[in-house]
Chains A and B, each alone.
Chain A
């Protein structure tokens, strides 16, 4: 069965510093996708970044990068140069190719300190 684990319920980071949010996953499939979503206090879900299981390079989107370690089944989100607006809940999610059942982790609440 698929599973996503986010072990950090809450994190603090100083403004302008980098922060890593952990995500580990479990799947027996070889082809899958990993996603990160941001949920600010306003409640909407915002897509941040995607990594395919066959992608050899780590995904990057602006200040977001995904540290993909396939052998360790980890897909950590790295936010560089944190901003106050990065304060939010962050969810890791995965999906196996050919299915439409996305599963989500329990989330990490990030607070950026001025």
Chain B
């Protein structure tokens, strides 16, 4: 009954370092997405995917890369971290039905870039 699993939960990086936030879901959801949450700004969509091999940009994609090689996994890559990328990151997948469906969220990953 894992749902959406994100790793790591906490990470500290230095400016310019790279890292990958992992996201995996076991609900066979076609749609997966990454959001960042910043104080006073709510959640903003970074990238999303509607199925394996298909990705698209959201509202704030700059500085992030994604790929979707399997239905289960949707990693988010920071190629050269910047202090502006300090944030809490959420991965989410959708259950079918409704107008787009309810989002199932991971527990979040808190990233600090020094």
* Interface size in chain B (residues, C-beta < 8 A): 26
* Interface size in chain A (residues, C-beta < 8 A): 29
Which residues of the partner chain B approach A91 to less than 8 Å between Cβ atoms? 42-43
Q: Using A33-B98, A100-B31 as known contacts, say yes or no to A106 and B42 having CB atoms under 8 A apart.
A: yes
- Count A-B contacts at CB 8 Å: 65
Instruction: A31 to B100: give the CA distance in the assembly, Å.
Output: 11
B41 to A106, Cβ gap below 8 A? yes
- Kindly state whether residue A45 has any CB partner on chain B within 8 Å: yes
A11 CB to nearest chain B CB (Å): 16
- Kindly state whether residue B58 has any CB partner on chain A within 8 Å: yes
Instruction: A44 to B102: give the CA distance in the assembly, Å.
Output: 15
Chain A positions within 8 Å of B, measured between CB atoms, are: 4, 6, 9, 31-33, 35, 37, 43-45, 47, 50, 52-53, 91, 93, 95-97, 99-107
